[in-house]
Structure 1
Amino acid sequence: MFERILLPTDGADSMDVVVRTAADIADRRDAVVHVLYVIDDRAFLTLDDGMKDDVLAELTGEGEVATDRAATRLREAGIEVTTGIRQGDPADEIISSVEAADIDLVAMGTRRGDYSNSMMGSVSQEVVARAPVPVLTVNLTEEE
């Protein structure tokens, strides 16, 4: 059933719990995990044109570190992994990746906030609402 799992990451230490969860599911299903980092280019709207290339290069570097970190942990667990970096609206890019890679399950983190205002972060909430496949959200804690 779950042969291809998408794991979007922002590189935070708290993502380790999502990586472990995805590894457990992938190991049980002999699935491939696709690790994705999305550079949110909406932040570029307020940048001076001369700064955009430098910021993009810095964010791409952060994405490489984030995807490499998750991929290394997954490979250590014996999981087959692919990595990718995309640029755009995070929810749009995650949904696009689901469709492009024929993903069966999205495993992503969500940060706790004020329950009365939002049960899930805006990106995870949008992915849950729009994804054509099941989405497993894992609560992230900032406590280490």
Structure 2
Amino acid sequence: MLQQYKNILVPIDGSFEAELAFKKAVEVAKRNKAAVHLLHVIDTRAFQNVSSFDSTMVEQITEKAKETVKGYVKTAKEAGLTEIDYSIEYGAPKAIIANDFPKKLGIDLVMIGATGLNAMERLLIGSVTEYVTRTAACDVLVVRTDLDNNPIKDVKKKK
């Protein structure tokens, strides 16, 4: 029997790798007649040590995230995907992507970029992708190539 996915989660952080994961997720969703759920997590831990914390900073980051994610939704719909939505969450990205959101929406596949934007966190405490692949209860596909299966490093060189 052929495995069919029904609910695909794609974490979006503005990175090139996340964009590739999104593009591949759209194609997988079309083949599987699945829904795609885009998720952008605003890491609130980044604001804990900001002494002059201003709520307008969070509002600006949220607006930028909405712009980015709405662009992805538009692209997916133009590509023929009908079931697509998005959410912007606040908190620790690892737990939300690996555990909270998959449980909440019945996710059966997470498609995630091999690396994201936060190199410092990757160095100090490990990547979000690594954590998700290790702890998620559903299948996780780590995207390392573009739609033509060219490795990301080769695609970046061409840019």
Aligned to 2:49: 46
Matches within 5 A, 1:125-136: 125-136=130-141
Pair 1:104 & 2:112 matched: no
- Uncovered stretches (5+) of structure 2, i.e. residues with no partner: 117-121, 145-151
Aligned to 1:73: 75
CA contact (8 A) 1:11 1:65 kept: no
Return the structure number with greater strand share. 1
CA contact (8 A) 1:19 1:73 kept: no
TM value normalised by structure 2: 0.78
- Cα deviation for residue 100 of structure 1 reads 0.1
Determine the C-alpha separation between the residues in 2 that align with 1:15 and 1:111: 8
One-letter amino acid of the structure 1 residue matched with residue 65 of structure 2: G
Matches within 5 A, 1:6-85: 6-48=9-51, 50-79=52-81, 80-85=83-88
Determine the C-alpha separation between the residues in 1 that align with 2:137 and 2:29: 19
One-letter amino acid of the structure 2 residue matched with residue 86 of structure 1: E
Instruction: List 4+ stretches of structure 1 deviating above 3 A.
Output: none
Q: Deviations over 1:1-32 (max 9, x none)?
A: 30000000012344332122101110100000
Segment of structure 1 superposing worse, 98-107 or 52-61: 52-61
Cα RMSD (Å) of the superposition?
2.1
CA contact (8 A) 2:115 2:127 kept: no
- Cα deviation for residue 52 of structure 1 reads 3.5
Determine the C-alpha separation between the residues in 1 that align with 2:33 and 2:77: 13
Determine the C-alpha separation between the residues in 1 that align with 2:135 and 2:62: 26
CA contact (8 A) 1:35 1:81 kept: yes
Aligned to 1:86: 89
Q: Deviations over 1:40-84 (max 9, x none)?
A: 111011112x52312211110121022112211111111120110
Determine the C-alpha separation between the residues in 2 that align with 1:86 and 1:37: 6
CA contact (8 A) 1:44 1:52 kept: no
CA contact (8 A) 1:40 1:89 kept: yes
CA contact (8 A) 1:8 1:35 kept: yes
- Uncovered stretches (5+) of structure 1, i.e. residues with no partner: none
Alignment: residue pair count: 137
